[in-house]
Copies of this chain bind each other. A is one copy, B any other.
Amino acid sequence: MPAQGNASLPVIKRLPKYYRYLCMMQKNGITEVSSKYLADTLGTTASQVRQDFNCFASFGRQGIGYEVDKLVDELGKLLFGSGEPLPSIMVGAGRLGSAVSRFITNETSGYKLLAAFDGNAELVGKDLNGVPIYHTDDLEKFCRENHVAMAVLCLPRTGAIALAPTLVEAGVKGFWNFSHYDLVVDYPQLVVENVHLGDSLMSLSYRLRNEQ
């Protein structure tokens, strides 16, 4: 079932959570689920669930409940596509890059990790969770030859600023961005998912100190 193309970013950000919970229900042998039950499990409202699913026309069976198998299947297709996994690379093969790369090696994630890149000569030639680490000097050639669609940026802001033009010119369209460089300000055409761990930690600190 094709995406309706009218899902807003907040809806898109909620899809993975629905998918995870529905997979758990499927594993537990649950075959049908109401929007109310889903909402209670996820800590949201039934109306929100119905609204979200209405963005994807084929999901709706209001009043009857949803078939878990079908939802898992449809959501899976939306999230991971039904074709080839997206050729992907890590940029930055340090400790964070190493930890983060494990999320992509999983065959079910819709990505295929091809290689990692680092400017540190001591890392070049080594292996990062099963893929080779090359020097960042080879980034452009590699991206062009392998039609890299997604790059994970696990490097400092200055490094990300320096390498972004190369990656964009070589055709990389998607970025899982752990750096503090807000790529999308300079390249609004890119698809960027920011993970600003430091910001998340600061927000938590604010809330712990100011909310009660």
Measured CB to CB, the nearest residue on chain B to A204 is B193
How far apart are the CA atoms of A15 and B193 in the complex, in Å? 19
Copies in the complex: 2
Residue contact A3 to B98, C-beta cutoff 8 Å: no
Q: Mark A94-138, 1 if CB is under 8 A from B, else 0.
A: 011011101110000111000000000000000000000000000
CB distance from A95 to the nearest CB of B (A): 5
Size bin of chain A's contact surface: 35 or more
- Hey, which chain B residues are within 8 Å of A96, CB to CB? 99, 102
- Hey, which chain B residues are within 8 Å of A5, CB to CB? 210-211
Measured CB to CB, the nearest residue on chain B to A40 is B185
- Hey, which chain B residues are within 8 Å of A78, CB to CB? 206, 209-210
Q: Mark A187-209, 1 if CB is under 8 A from B, else 0.
A: 00001010111111111111111
Question: A201-B103, A205-B79, A210-B78 given as contacts; is B196 within 8 A of A17 (CB)?
Answer: yes
The 8 A-B pairs with the shortest beta carbon distances in the complex, nearest first, are A16-B199, A99-B99, A16-B202, A43-B185, A193-B204, A3-B210, A110-B205, A174-B208
Give 11 A-B pairs besides A16-B199, A174-B208 with Cβ atoms closer than 8 angstroms.
A3-B206, A13-B199, A16-B202, A16-B203, A43-B185, A81-B205, A86-B205, A110-B205, A174-B207, A175-B204, A195-B197
Which residues of A approach B to under 8 Å, CB–CB? 3, 5, 7, 12-13, 15-17, 19-20, 41-43, 78-81, 86, 95-96, 98-100, 102-104, 109-111, 149-150, 173-176, 180, 182, 184-185, 191, 193, 195-211
Q: Could you write out 30 A-B pairs with CB less than 8 Å apart?
A: A3-B206, A5-B211, A12-B203, A15-B206, A16-B202, A17-B182, A41-B185, A78-B206, A78-B210, A86-B208, A86-B209, A99-B99, A99-B100, A100-B197, A103-B197, A103-B198, A103-B201, A109-B201, A109-B202, A110-B202, A110-B205, A111-B205, A173-B208, A175-B204, A176-B200, A191-B204, A191-B208, A193-B200, A193-B207, A195-B195
